[in-house]
Amino acid sequence: MNFSIKKICCIGAGYVGGPTMAVLAEKCENIQINVVDNNPERIKFWNSDDLKNLPIYEPGLESIIAKCRGKNLHFSTDVENNIKDADMIFISVNTPTKKGGIGAGQASDLTFVEAAARLIAKHGQKHTIVVEKSTLPIRTADTIKQILTSANQKYPNSATFDILSNPEFLAEGNAINDLNNPDRILIGGESEDAITSLKNIYLNWVHENKIITTNLWSSELSKLAANAFLAQRVSSINSLSALCEASGADISEVKKAIGTDSRIGNKFISPGPGFGGSCFKKDILNLVYLCNFYGLREVAEYWGKVLEINTWQKQRITEIIFQKLFGTITCKNIAIFGFSFKSNTNDTRESPAIEICHQLINEGANLKIYDPRVSIKQLEKDLGLNTKHDKELGPSNGSWKFTTDSYKAAEGTDAIVILTEWEEFKHLDWKSISTNMRSPSWVFDTRSIINFKEAKSNGINIWIMGRG
Ligand code: UDX
Ligand code: UDX
């Protein structure tokens, strides 16, 4: 017997829970979907009349929200009642890296996942399928199972549960596309009936041969492994970008040459300022922790190097800027183009821009930051208040300022540093920019996206990642 799913609850209305449930609602008109979150502010934004105020920016999301919200897609803070009613519950809360205690700095903090499981144990009323959406260490399903099973003894009329792992592979900025046309859907579990129930939901729009079923542990590990492989490709190409600069090779040519090998493929080999985002660093740290836990020191060290190269790449960029600007950037004005960790998102979590900006400010530079989607509030969270006005900081400390367009940001600067590959940076009017910059002016293009010829012909010095 497989269970027919009429009501879904998703705990966690974040970058994963929000878009995933929006697409599910659009594809499954007969299922009522309630996305709950313990952050009332976030829910308020999900419910705002002006769709420009949604808490996350994701191309294509607004139109789905306009179509489904209030019909079969609802956002609220009423966790209890929505758990009670649900046939299926997705856990989509965040799992940050632990800050203190055992495994600090590496292991995932499962406090929120455990809290969600306890709420489900307490309020569940019937047979409920619990689906892990958050990326989790292997065998977390065991923890969830134990919490849910203990509820059978503690709470009268308690529910029964099946647990599935169904990791999300969406990439921010392309989330709606990825959800509409996934490469694969992975479902790990023990109960055939529960697996079939979830599979039936996806069959509304995904072809059967794209749905892979595995045991729980393989599913949990596959998510970590996929992110580790992707991050490893970025670190590999970034390490070669440095070698290209040193040797006179051109990374764009090397990229083309290796990317046309069908065994390697041309995706995920673009050099840049280092990978960011909420997942890669956290998941690799988690992998390293797991390997050490199982006594696999060499494996742990291998994956740890992927992170080391990522940190080094950011430091390397700051040092290059420093050297090119005559070994001092104190009191120099530098424009930062792009602050989000990649284009088409307002997400700045682990963005390389945060570290690079901190390093430049610490060297005394005055930054003017422009990003088409990142707000001044977010910059304040990531960089702290404008340090210039902080009396406790020494005189060598620089400052940052928020600007609303790239041309204003570039005015009076010695250098522009391009950190995010926003489309608009491909079409900048270098003539107009160059007249308002100080001379000698520099552009540091860490994403290789500017119109090189035009910038060069307007007298700007250019450094491009992997070309020097
Ligand atoms: C998170 C994890 O980072 C990722 O590893 C996982 O795969 C999916 O969940 P994301 O959706 O990007 O990704 O996180 P975030 O945007 O922070 O959303 C999590 C939401 O859960 C937040 O809105 C938070 O308020 C909510 N939450 C957290 C709860 O509702 N209850 C809790 O107990 C904890
Ligand atoms: C990633 C995974 O792609 C996704 O499957 C998983 O569910 C969550 O983590 P995300 O972090 O949203 O998605 O974005 P992604 O497109 O993977 O980019 C991650 C980082 O790598 C970004 O900072 C991006 O700029 C960088 N990157 C990516 C490169 O520097 N070069 C590349 O060629 C690709």
The DSSP secondary structure of 231-279, one letter per residue, reads HHHHHHHHHHHHHHHHHT--HHHHHHHHHTSTTT-STT----S---SSS
> In the numeric block, which tokens belong to residue 422?
């926003």
Q: Give CA torsion, residues 356, 359, 360, 366, to 10 deg.
A: 110
Cβ 185 vs Cβ 212: under 8 Å: yes
> For residue 425, is it left (φ>0), alpha (ψ between -120 and 50) or beta?
alpha
Q: Which of 10, 279, 291, 357 is catalytic?
A: 279
235: phi then psi, degrees, rounded to nearest 5: -65, -35
Cα of 235 vs centre of ligand 2, distance in Å, is 12
7-214 and 307-464 agree in CATH topology: yes
Report, at the CATH architecture level, how domain 7-214 is classified. 3-Layer(aba) Sandwich (3.40)
The residue whose CB lies within 8 Å of the most ligand 2 atoms, and thus the one to mutate among 56, 186, 230, is 230
Cα of 91 vs centre of ligand 1, distance in Å, is 9
Reported as a single tens digit per residue, the pLDDT across 198-233 is: 999 999 999 999 999 999 989 989 999 999 999 999
Whether 279 is a known active-site residue: answer: yes
Reported as a single tens digit per residue, the pLDDT across 404-415 is: 999 999 999 999
By DSSP bridging, strand 88-91 and strand 461-464 are unpaired
The confidence score (pLDDT) of residue 395 equals: 53
> In the numeric block, which tokens belong to residue 336?
């930062």
pTM of the predicted model as reported, rounded to 2 decimal places? 0.93
Ligand nearest to the CA of 227: 2
Integer Rg of the chain from CA: 24
Cα of 81 vs centre of ligand 2, distance in Å, is 36
Pocket of ligand 1 (CB under 6 A): 11-17, 37-39, 42, 92-95, 112, 115-116, 133-135, 168, 278-279
- Ligand 1 nearest atom to the CA of residue 18, by list position: 11
Residue nearest to atom 11 of ligand 2 (CA): 277
> In the numeric block, which tokens belong to residue 455?
């910038």
Residue nearest to atom 2 of ligand 1 (CA): 94
- Ligand 1 nearest atom to the CA of residue 116, by list position: 33
d(CA 202, CA 439): 57
Residue 163, strand partner residues: 130
DSSP output for 286-336: HHHHHHHHTT-HHHHHHHHHHHHHHHHHHHHHHHHHHHHTTT--TT-EEEE
DSSP output for 188-238: EES-HHHHHHHHHHHTTTS-GGGEEEE-HHHHHHHHHHHHHHHHHHHHHHH
Cα of 233 vs centre of ligand 2, distance in Å, is 10
Cα of 465 vs centre of ligand 1, distance in Å, is 34
Ligand nearest to the CA of 95: 1
The confidence score (pLDDT) of residue 156 equals: 67
Q: How many CB atoms lie within 10 A of CB 367?
A: 25
The residue whose CB lies within 8 Å of the most ligand 2 atoms, and thus the one to mutate among 15, 136, 176, 279, is 279
Q: Alpha helix locations (H) across 134-184?
A: 140-154, 175-180
Chain-centroid distance of CA 429 in Å reads 30
First to last CA, the chain: 63
Q: How far is CA 54 from CA 21, 29, 68, 143, 350, in A?
A: 14, 22, 14, 33, 21
Residue-wise burial string across 180-203, b where 16 or more C-beta atoms lie within 10 A, e elsewhere: eebeebbbbbeeeebbbbbbebbe
- Ligand 1 nearest atom to the CA of residue 112, by list position: 33
Residue nearest to atom 28 of ligand 2 (CA): 268
Residue-wise burial string across 269-305, b where 16 or more C-beta atoms lie within 10 A, e elsewhere: bbbbbbbbbbbbbbbbbbbbbbbbeeeeeeebeebbe
Cα of 14 vs centre of ligand 1, distance in Å, is 5
The secondary element (H helix, E strand) that includes residue 63 is helix 61-68
Ligand nearest to the CA of 140: 1
Is residue 350 helix, strand or coil?
coil
- Ligand 2 nearest atom to the CA of residue 347, by list position: 12
Residue nearest to atom 30 of ligand 1 (CA): 37
pLDDT per residue rounded down to tens, the chain (468 residues): 567 899 999 999 999 999 999 999 999 999 999 999 999 999 999 999 999 999 999 999 999 999 999 999 999 999 999 999 999 999 999 988 888 888 888 878 889 999 999 999 999 999 999 999 988 777 888 888 888 888 766 776 668 999 999 999 999 999 999 999 999 999 999 999 999 999 999 999 999 999 999 999 899 899 999 999 999 999 999 999 999 999 999 999 999 999 999 999 999 999 999 999 999 999 999 999 999 999 999 999 999 999 999 999 999 999 999 999 999 999 999 999 999 999 999 999 999 999 999 999 999 999 999 999 999 999 999 999 765 545 554 555 899 999 999 999 999 999 999 999 999 999 999 999 999 999 999 999 999 999 999 999 999 999 999 997
393: phi then psi, degrees, rounded to nearest 5: -90, 145
Residues 6+ apart with CB under 8 A from 60: 176, 177
Q: Give CA torsion, residues 164, 165, 166, 167, to 10 deg.
A: 160
Cβ 213 vs Cβ 188: under 8 Å: yes
> In the numeric block, which tokens belong to residue 221?
């590990």
Sheet holding 333-337, edge to edge: 399-402, 366-370, 333-337, 415-418, 442-445, 461-464
Cα of 11 vs centre of ligand 1, distance in Å, is 8
To which residue do tokens 């600067």 refer? 413
Reported as a single tens digit per residue, the pLDDT across 197-206 is: 999 999 999 9
- Tallying the residues shown for the chain, one arrives at 468
Pocket of ligand 2 (CB under 6 A): 168-172, 227, 230, 234, 268-270, 272, 275-277, 279-280, 341-342
According to CATH, the topology of domain 307-464 is Rossmann fold (3.40.50)
Residue ranges per domain, the chain?
A: 7-214, 307-464
Residues 6+ apart with CB under 8 A from 54: 18, 45, 46, 48, 61, 62, 65
Is residue 461 helix, strand or coil?
strand
